[in-house]
Structure 1
Amino acid sequence: MQDTRHAVLDALADGPVSGPDIADRLDVSRAAVWKHVEALRDAGFEIASTDAGYELAAVPDFGGEAVEFGLEAPFEVEYHDAVPSTNDRARELAAEGREDVVVLADEQPGGRGRLNRAWSSPSGGIWLSILCRPTVPPADAPAFTLAAAVATTRAAREAGVDAVIKWPNDVLVPTGTGASQTESDDVLVPDEEGDTRKLAGILTEMEGEADRVSWLIVGIGVNANVDVADLVEGATSLRAETGDVDRRAFTQRLLEEFHDLRTDLERVVPAWREHADTLGRRVRVETPGGEVVGEAVDVEFPGTLVVETDEGPVRVTTGDCEHLRPV
């Protein structure tokens, strides 16, 4: 949203105010004020014209201007009713030199998850990508992925969903049937289907040099106000868990939490541990160097999983993690 339009909206939020008063306050013409008011109305804001002046009556349920209004984080929001991939669009903006932009969509026909897995992104979800340019070395980039998982989990918990995190960044909802954690020398197999359902996924992309990140994109997909029948198998949604939520408020909380964590990366891992479902579990991690099986005992900065195996501790920086149960 343009800075002047932001200022006009802030003035309207303070109560009835006349067009001339806004024009004087912002040092713009009355015609410019009228144009901005009409543009806000076109974006879904209900602005009443009274004898006392303009008055903000209602904010749209969703959209770029709606999310920016009252957002306590320095992001510009570019909204699309539908876009093939918010990450792809964010890469285009990165090539233009942009930063601190959130690409937000109601629907994402070309959505994808980690390892190019299918990711259903129907209308009613929260599909977004955050483009930023952190002044950190590439080795620290995984911390932003963990920060996004924490931010999403905190927003879900505020919405009434008991969300947890599977390493590194899957946001899950336990079903209450939890798998046994009893030690056994028998064969280990994945947790029974139904122990957890996936609520949100995160996909991070980065471009940089040896000593610095050029740009970083964190794509976050939250199954919000969508039916489970429209999602991939094993997924759940906010609608299924707690009923429809205010997507505008949820998105704002997610972005605010992410911004708060990205400004102090040392806080990310402790915050991640608070919501971790992986720590203390038997896991199998498929890594580029082979399979690692053991107990997940810790996560170290910037996101390294420590697995205690029969041969001793193994540190895993990347891989596909699977929770196990003894048979």
Structure 2
Amino acid sequence: MDLETRQLQKILDEAHQLPEVLILKPVTTSTNDDVREIALKGVQSVLVCSLRQTQGRGQRQRQWVSPEGNIYLSTLLNTRTPIDGRLALEIALNILQMPSLKNLDLQVKWPNDLYSTQGKWGGILVEPLSPHQVIVGVGINLEPIPKENIDQHATSLSELGLTNISRIQLVAELYMAIQQASEWFDHHCYNLAARFNHYAAFKNQAVEFEHHSGLCSGIFLGIQDDGAVNIETSEGLKQFYQGRLRRLEISL
């Protein structure tokens, strides 16, 4: 067992949150796939973290750019409440409350992006194995991402002001934040709309929303307690549970 693994094991053990399986890797294809393989063997708690992924993915199977040196982490959650879209929102909100991040000006972009006014600094991928068991993957940019590798505004925690970054401490806090999010989820996501809307990216701004039937544009008013997006359009208020939200760039 290497030094970083021992350090992480010690932090989680002292917090009484040490999983059955804990693996730190220099490189992997996908940490979510690693957790899936372990979960199929009957393991109920697992944490896999890698410095680099060769086949990282995001929502809707989009490629997740995974250069070396950032955090790519996956774990397994077992919930009493059947999995739905609110879980990713709870995970994002709990990540923003991590001790290492609380002094930064951070946002959440519905439904699963860790965001800021400078752009995206992380993302969450939720992949259910059953109605009550889910793999949660989180990717965090610690350092700047080469601009040629991405198709959207992106930033990193170092660019947002996080200095003297302890990667192992962040991994421990991330794992515990995800576990805490599971508790919120199992307690019916109490007051979710108010908590999310406080950190919501693009709130009260002009947005475009891509959904299964096409596109709509309007003003993003935040979310409801059930996780649905509220958009005020020219045809009135509309709610969506699935889709992609982006700020509408208005040319003057």
TM range (shorter): 0.7 to 0.9
Distance 1:100 1:270, change over 3 A: farther
- Of 47, 60, 74, the match for 2:17: 74
Structure 2 counterpart of 1:262: 182
> Which ranges in structure 2 are unaligned for 5 or more consecutive residues?
none
Distance 1:303 1:92, change over 3 A: same
Q: Residues 1-327 of structure 1 correspond to what in structure 2 (within 5 A)?
A: 42-44=1-3, 60=4, 63=5, 65-71=6-12, 72=15, 74-76=17-19, 77-138=22-83, 141-155=84-98, 158=101, 160-174=103-117, 196-208=118-130, 213-224=131-142, 226-229=143-146, 232=150, 234-242=153-161, 243-265=163-185, 266-267=189-190, 268-327=192-251
Residues 146 and 269, structure 1, Cα contact 8 Å, conserved in 2: no
Sequence identity (%): 25
Deviation at 1:173, TM superposition (A): 2.4
CA separation of 1:304 and 1:284: change in aligned 2, threshold 3 A? same
**Number of equivalent positions:** 240
The offset of 1:269, in angstroms, is 4.1
Contact 2:121 2:140 in 1 (8 A): yes
Displacement, 1:288?
0.9
Contact persistence 1:286–1:292 (CA under 8 A): yes
- Post-superposition offset of 1:314: 1.2
Runs of at least 4 residues off by over 6 Å: none
Aligned 8 A contact 1:156 1:162 in 2: no
Structure having the higher Rg? 1
**Counterpart-to-counterpart distance in 1, 2:7 and 2:90:** 24
Deviations 1:201-223 (A, max 9, x none): 11111133xxxx14211110001
CA RMSD of aligned residues (A): 2.3
* TM-score normalized by the length of structure 1: 0.67
SS in 2 for 1:151: helix
Higher helix share: 1
The gaps in structure 1 that reach 5 residues or longer are: 1-41, 45-59, 175-195
Distance in 1 between residues matched to 2:92 and 2:17, nearest whole Å: 19
Task: Provide the TM-score with structure 2 as the length reference.
Answer: 0.85
